Amino acid sequence: MAKRRGNPNWGKPEPIGPITPTVTEFEQVVREYKLSPDQYLRSTRLREWARRNKNSKYIPE
C-alpha cells in the first residue's frame, strides 16, 4: 500500500480557542514609566527606549 502524501487536515478549519489579549513591550514600558498618551511624544526616556528597540520591538507610530 502506498504512503499517503500531504497534510490530511488541509481543508479543515483549525479549532479556534479563546483569544487572550497580550500586552506589548511598548505598553509595559509606558506603564513602567507611568506615562499618559499625551506624554508619549514629550518623554525623553520613552524616545530613547524606542530608539534602542526600533528594530526588535513593536513601537506604534
The mean per-residue pLDDT over the stretch 1-20 comes to: 83
> Which sequence spans correspond to the domains of the chain?
22-61
Asked whether the predicted pLDDT for residue 61 surpasses 80, the reply is no
pLDDT of residue 30: 95
What pLDDT is attached to residue 39?
94
Rounded to whole angstroms, what are the CA distances from 33 to 27, 28, 37, 49? 10, 9, 12, 11
Of the chain, the percentage scoring pLDDT greater than 70 comes to: 98
Per-residue model confidence as pLDDT tens digits over 35-57: 999 999 999 999 999 999 988 88
Residue, of 33 and 21, whose pLDDT is higher: 33
